């Protein structure tokens, strides 16, 4: 009897295995998926072999318990980093003819492992399994063309953006449209279930521009519909559109994106040590040119997109190693968001009490930082309590709990053990001021000429001499004692041919002498800046929700145009840096961030 039951049980189990395989294989062939996000329904580009069926984990079964140790601990123990990669999404990840995963993401994963002196274990993930495999510890991180979407921030954490893709509008090359607004009352093609469909709808809702949406089953058909004039435009990711357009001369992309889709490394939530290790290594790879090499290899020789990664101060000359980071997970003693929700007061450091005769540059910078703090707090329905004369000790006040945030701090690795930083909201640095009709644009033709520098800028003479030496140009140096005398020095006294200094000191003279002075752009140089200093908001270390709230609000200020207005006194319009906006809702943590509460 027992043997009979065993045989019956065996027969009962066998069909179940067959059914499971058939269902899984059918789903694979048809691309069927249940309750997937828009990002999960991206086009699946065929690979040499079909994606391996991977086990899925019920999201409800994944523990929300706080981490007990950093991923850095396991990486050090095993001398190995496990990276989730897509195997069927070129040019970011695909299985090549040698049976190896290749592509931009795969090469970046190898570069990270090499920098850390550990072995790389690539793990195949899919759009359906990636997040679960990270959360249950199967992989340490995801490098899988993952868009930083706000709705995912409650489950995982993201690194800095390493690749800035966009949802774009493609139109026929002979179309007269120059901006998205020109597509009003026209037919727009989208692919059912693709991110472009959602991006087009969100853009229409935000702008009020009326469009007629035509749905297609595949991106190839949508592009064909564009070329045959069935539709006037197609919305989809720029990389994917480029891959399916056979003749680029027939199509053009409008310069204004429909939506940003920044790719970032996905990490365990609140693993601050691991996040800092990843971000610092990404910055190291960017500064050393390795990221550019990887990009050129996978994108037909094209250079890595400029301004993608903000490199923090004190990065160091050597690649960071896991052993330099803690293995614990330090959590904040007190979280800021609940305190703001109840008290509606934000304590802000990083401002100065300036005397009436303070230099114009100092006045403008302090005014910017105060105005930004007020704008952030207004979106939270809160008032600001500025901590007086708190520029020099701003990070200490954050770390000690006396301030909720600090404005105007440069992101700096020497402070990373005490505070976290938002995305950068302001850029300044060294430029050249010349007369309007001056032939001088760079240091190339300044041999024997005189360069003015400000006495208040330590090391300026050394920087000028180094720049002159790079192009074998000897220059003379004249020190300007007072910032307000710069225009007089170059226009009236004729003591200098050019002035080298921070744009904050130069810009007021351009404004007060229109048509007489200009700030150079260095001609054909890829970067108009001789040095870059970024400003960000510092927040308590590993208080992830508050950092997200600050970043979301900064992004909404950008979207609303408030940020551009704040930058007018401190930056030239053409110098405004690209500002990242993560796709997702404008409401977060009980705040409506796209409008002033009560306004």
Its sign, for the CA torsion 56, 58, 61, 62, is positive
C-alpha dihedral sign at 379, 383, 387, 388:
positive
- The full set of domain ranges for the chain reads 2-32, 59-156+268-324, 165-261, 336-426+537-560+583-592, 430-519
The answer regarding whether domain 59-156+268-324 maps to CATH 3.40.190.10 reads yes
Burial per residue of 129-152, b for 16 or more beta-carbon CB atoms within 10 angstroms, e otherwise: bbbbbbbeebbbbbbbbbbbbbeb
Whether 125 shows a pLDDT value over 80: the answer reads yes
Q: What is the pLDDT of residue 64?
A: 55
Flag whether pLDDT at 30 surpasses 80: no
pLDDT of amino acid 55: 39
Range 336-426+537-560+583-592 classified under CATH 3.40.190.10: yes
Cβ neighbors of 192 (< 8 A, separation 6 or more) are 215, 216, 217
Say yes or no to pLDDT of 353 above 90. Answer: yes
Taking residues 279-283, report their average pLDDT.
98
* Closest residue by Cα to residue 80 from 114, 103, 129, 131: 114
Q: Give dist(CA 320, CA 375) in Å, integer.
A: 36
Write the pLDDT tens digit of every residue in 398-425.
999 999 999 999 999 999 999 999 999 9
How many other β-carbons are positioned within 10 Å of the β-carbon of residue 448?
Answer: 9
Of 10-24, 316-330, 572-586, the one with minimum mean pLDDT is 10-24
- In angstroms, the Cα distances linking 3 to 8, 14, 543 are 9, 17, 61
Looking at 3.30.710.10, 3.40.50.300, 3.40.190.10, 3.50.50.60, the CATH number of the domain 165-261 comes to 3.40.190.10
> Can you give the pLDDT at residue 306?
85
The tens digit of pLDDT for each residue in 221-272 reads: 999 999 999 999 999 999 999 999 999 999 999 999 999 999 999 999 999 9
pLDDT per residue as tens digits for the range 461-495: 999 999 999 998 899 999 999 999 999 999 999 89
Q: CATH assignment of 430-519?
A: 3.40.190.10
Indicate if 336-426+537-560+583-592 has the same CATH topology as 59-156+268-324: yes
Burial of 70 (0-12, 13-18, 19+ CB in 10 A): buried
The residue-averaged pLDDT of 386-397 equals: 97
Are residues 125 and 139 in contact, defined by beta-carbon separation less than 8 angstroms?
A: yes
pLDDT for residue 370 is more than 90: yes
314-342: per-residue pLDDT in tens? Answer: 999 999 999 999 999 999 999 999 999 99
Single pTM value for the model: 0.87
Q: What is the pLDDT of residue 66?
A: 85
């Amino acid at each position: 009897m027992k043997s009979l039951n065993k045989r019956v049980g065996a027969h009962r189990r066998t069909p179940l295995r067959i059914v499971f395989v058939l269902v899984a294989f059918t789903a694979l062939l048809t691309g069927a998926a249940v309750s997937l996000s828009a990002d999960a329904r991206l086009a699946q580009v065929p690979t040499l072999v079909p994606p391996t069926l991977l086990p899925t984990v019920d999201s409800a079964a994944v523990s929300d318990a706080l981490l007990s140790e950093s991923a850095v601990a396991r990486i050090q123990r095993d001398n190995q980093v496990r990276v989730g990669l897509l195997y069927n999404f070129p040019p970011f990840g695909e299985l090549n003819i040698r049976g190896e995963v290749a592509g931009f993401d795969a090469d970046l994963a190898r570069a990270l492992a090499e920098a850390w002196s550990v072995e790389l274990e690539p793990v195949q993930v899919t759009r359906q399994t990636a997040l679960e495999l990270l959360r249950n510890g199967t992989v340490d991180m995801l490098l899988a063309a993952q868009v930083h979407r706000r709705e995912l921030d409650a489950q995982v954490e993201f690194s800095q953006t390493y690749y800035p893709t966009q949802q774009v509008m493609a139109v026929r090359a002979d179309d007269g449209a120059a901006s998205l607004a020109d597509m009003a009352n026209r037919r727009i093609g989208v692919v059912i279930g693709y991110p472009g469909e959602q991006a087009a709808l969100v853009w229409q809702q935000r702008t009020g521009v009326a469009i007629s949406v035509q749905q297609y089953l595949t991106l190839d058909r949508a592009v064909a519909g564009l070329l045959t004039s069935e539709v006037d435009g197609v919305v989809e990711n720029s990389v994917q559109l480029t891959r399916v357009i056979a003749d680029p001369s027939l199509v053009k992309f409008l310069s204004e994106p429909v939506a940003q889709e920044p790719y970032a490394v996905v990490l365990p939530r609140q693993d601050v040590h691991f996040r800092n290790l990843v971000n610092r290594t990404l910055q190291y790879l960017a500064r050393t040119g390795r990221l550019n090499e990887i990009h050129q290899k996978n994108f037909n020789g094209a250079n890595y997109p400029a301004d993608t990664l903000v490199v923090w101060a004190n990065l160091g000359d050597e690649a960071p190693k896991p052993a330099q980071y803690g293995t614990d997970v330090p959590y904040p003693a007190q979280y800021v968001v609940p305190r703001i929700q109840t008290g509606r007061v934000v304590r802000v450091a990083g401002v100065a009490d300036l005397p009436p005769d303070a230099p114009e540059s100092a006045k403008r910078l302090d005014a910017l930082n105060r105005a930004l703090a007020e704008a952030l707090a207004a979106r939270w329905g809160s008032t600001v309590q500025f901590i007086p004369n708190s520029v020099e000790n701003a990070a200490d006040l954050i770390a000690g709990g006396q301030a909720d945030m600090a404005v105007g701090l440069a992101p700096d690795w020497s402070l990373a053990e005490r505070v976290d930083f938002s995305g950068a909201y302001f850029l300044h640095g060294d430029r050249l001021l010349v007369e309007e009709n001056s032939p001088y644009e760079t240091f190339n033709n300044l041999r024997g000429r005189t360069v003015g520098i400000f006495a208040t800028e330590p090391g300026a003479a050394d920087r000028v001499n180094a720049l002159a030496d790079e192009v074998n140009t000897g220059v003379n140096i004249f020190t300007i004692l007072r910032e307000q005398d710069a225009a007089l020095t170059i226009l009236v006294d004729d003591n200098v041919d050019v002035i080298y200094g921070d744009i904050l000191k130069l810009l007021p003279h351009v404004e007060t002498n229109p048509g007489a002075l200009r700030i150079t752009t260095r001609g054909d140089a890829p970067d108009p800046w001789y040095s870059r200093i970024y400003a960000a908001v510092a927040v308590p270390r590993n208080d992830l929700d508050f950092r997200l709230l600050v970043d979301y609000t900064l992004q909404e200020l950008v979207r609303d145009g408030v940020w551009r207005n704040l930058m007018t006194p401190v930056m030239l319009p053409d110098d405004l840096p690209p500002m990242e906006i993560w796709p997702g809702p404008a409401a977060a943590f009980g705040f409506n961030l796209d409008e002033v509460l009560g306004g």
